Structure 1
C-alpha cells in the first residue's frame, strides 16, 4: 500500500468573515491540510468526514473534532482519482473512481467506475459495481430519497444525469437538458454539484452548472426522471465558478465557489456571499455535519491552495448557525 504523508496544522486557525453590515458574523476554522487536491465530501452518521481527491485513488477519513485523526483508506484499484461520493445505506457509500487527465479535466475514456465502500467492519470492504465506458465527465453523485439502490450521477461534459442501479449494476440516462451542458470545450464544465432533497410530497434534484453560473432545481420521480421544467433559483445573479454545494433544512444552498468564496442562495432569488477570501481558497464541495444541533450547523468545505510544491488540499469548518 502506498503511504501518504500528511501535514497537519498543529493549532486551529480561526478566521472571521463579515459579508455586510447587516449580516451575522461567520466563523471559519481551518482543520487540516493534505498534499492532494480534495474534490468531494460525505459525512458519516458519527460525523466523521470522507474526502475524495482527483490526485489520488485514496479516500481520507477525518474526525473534525480531532485534527490528528486524519488517515487514508486503502486505494481503489485501477484508478488515480476519486470524485463524487454519497451514502446509499447506513455507513455504506458509493464513490466514483477512474483515471483522470488533469490537464483536460476529463476522465480517460473507459476508466470510470462506481464502487461501494462498506464501513461496518474493522477494515473497509470495497465492491466494484460497474464501469461507465463512455463517461468522460462524471462528477458528483447523489441518492434518491426512498430509492436507496438508485444513484444519480452528473456528467459535466455530456450535460447529462445518469441513473445508476447499484443493486443490478446497470445505468442509463435519467435526465438530459440544455441547462446541464457546458458552454464550450475543455476546461468548460456544465452540471457539477448534485443533491436531492425530499420536501413532502415532492423530491427535488438540485444542481449547479459551473459554465452558466446557475443553481437549478427540478422535481423528480422515485426513479430520477424529471417531472416538469427546471427552475433556475439564482436567476438574475449568476455565480461564476460555482462548484458543489450543500442544502440545509430550509432548502437553501451553500455553494463552494471558485476562486475563494461560499455563496448562499435562498431559493427565492436572493444570494449572499457568506465567506470570501483566503480562508476558502478554491473550494470544491460542502457538506453539513451530523449529530447534535451544533454539529448539524457546521458546514465542512474542501479547499485547495496552489503552493510552490504543488496543491495543498484542506478542510474548513464554517459555523452557519448565525444564518
Structure 2
C-alpha cells in the first residue's frame, strides 16, 4: 500500500528551478548602511539526515524543536545564547505513531500544541490523519506531559500552527495540501475549518499552498509556499475571519523566490521569512497604504550551507537574545546545495540588532 505521507515528502522534495534574488553572500550595505549578511553563529547541528521542521521559544529561553526526520520527536535546546558554557541538548520524547512532527505553538504559558501526520494502512485501505498533541511543561515540569488532543481525518499535509492571542483554548493549523486552516479547541478536541480562501490554495505546478501561519496584531498572516507570497486577514479571537469588520485578504508581499516556508514577525512589524529551497532568510517591510513592500536577503545564498533548507524562525525571549532570530534548517534535503550537498539539520542564531530598512 502506498504511503501518502511519503508522497507528501516526495512532493516537498521535488526539484524546482531557482529564481533570482539579490544574494547576501558577498558583503553588502543596504540603503540604510546595514552590513549584509547579518552576523550569525551555529547553535547546534544534528546528524544527517535530520529535518528540523519548526521552532518555539519558551519563556525560560529554551528552544523547542519539532523533528520531521528521522522521526517524530521533540527536542529542547537550553542556554542557546550562552557562548561560554554552550547549549544543552535534550530529546524530550517520541510522538508515536506519528511519522513526523510539523508546526508548534504556545496557546498558554508552557503549554505547547504540535501537529503531526499519522499514516495507517490495511490490505484494503490507507489513511492519513493530522494528529494534534499537547506538550505540557506547566507546574515546573522538566519533561513535558504529552497527550493527544484530536485527530483531523480530512487533513492532507498538516503544517504551520499558531496560537490566537486572547484565546488560550484555540489553535489554528495550516493544511498545505487542501489549502485551508483548521481551528482546534484543545480543551474539547473539536475542530473545524476556520479559514479557506483562494490565496491559501496550491497554485499551478506546486505541491504546497498555505505553509507558515502566525497571528499578529489581530491578523492571521500566512505564506503561500508555491506562490511565494505573504498574505494576511483580520480575524476574531475565535480564529474566524472578522467579516463584520469587513475583513478581506490583503497581499503583504510578493517575493522573487522559489518557495516560502515559515516566518517570524518582529516588534517593528518586519517579517523574517525563510525560503527553504534557496537557503535564504529575507527581511520584508510589508505593504502599507500606497507604499509597496520592500525586501532584502539578509542571510544565506543558493550556493551556501549557512541556512541550507531553512524551515522556520523565532526570536529569543530573554534580555540577551530578544534581537536574535533562531532559524532551523532541514540540511538541504528539499534541494541539495549546488545540486549534491546536504547536511544535518541545525539551529542558526542570526543577530538582527543592526538591521533596519
TM-score of the aligned structures, taking structure 1 as reference length? 0.86
Q: Does structure 1 retain, via aligned residues, the 8 Å contact 2:119–2:127? A: no
Counterpart position of 1:28: 40
Number of the residue aligned with 1:132: 152
Question: How many aligned residue pairs are there?
Answer: 296
Which residue is 2:258 aligned to? 240
Note the C-alpha offset of 1:96. 0.9
Q: Which residue of 2 aligns with 1:147?
A: 167
Distance 1:54 1:179, change over 3 A: same
More strand by percentage: 1
Deviations 1:62-116 (A, max 9, x none): 0213545111111112112100000111111001123479xxxxxx843321010
Q: Secondary structure at the match of 1:46?
A: coil
For the aligned residue pairs, the C-alpha RMSD in angstroms reads 2.2
Aligned to 2:179: 159
- 1:189 & 1:263 partners in 2: Cα distance? 20
Shift of 1:281: 1.0
Query: In the alignment, is residue 303 of structure 1 matched against residue 329 of structure 2?
Result: yes
Moved over 4 A (4+): 306-311
Aligned partner of residue 172 in structure 1, secondary structure: strand
Unpaired runs of at least 5, structure 1: 1-14, 102-107
Distance in 2 between residues matched to 1:19 and 1:171, nearest whole Å: 47
Contact residue 57 and residue 76 of structure 1 kept, 8 A: yes
Alignment of 1:31-180 (within 5 A): 31-35=43-47, 36-55=50-69, 56-63=71-78, 64=80, 65=82, 67-99=86-118, 109-119=127-137, 120-180=140-200
DSSP 3-state at the match of 1:295: coil
How many angstroms apart in 2 are the aligned matches of 1:266 and 1:69? 35
Residue 194 of structure 1 corresponds to which residue in structure 2? 213
Aligned match for 1:289, one of 316, 321, 337: 316
Identify the residue that residue 264 of structure 1 maps to in structure 2.
Answer: 283
Contact 2:212–2:263 under 8 Å retained in 1: yes
User: Contact 1:17/1:27 (CA < 8 Å) preserved in 2?
Assistant: no
| CA deviation after TM superposition for structure 1 residue 274, in Å | 0.9
Mapped partners of 1:17, 1:42: distance in 2: 31
Would the aligned equivalents of 2:25 and 2:300 in 1 still touch at CA under 8 Å? Answer: no
Which ranges in structure 2 are unaligned for 5 or more consecutive residues?
Answer: 1-23, 121-125, 288-292
**Partners of 1:24 and 1:145 in 2: how far apart?**
33
Aligned partners of 1:37 and 1:311 also within 8 Å = no
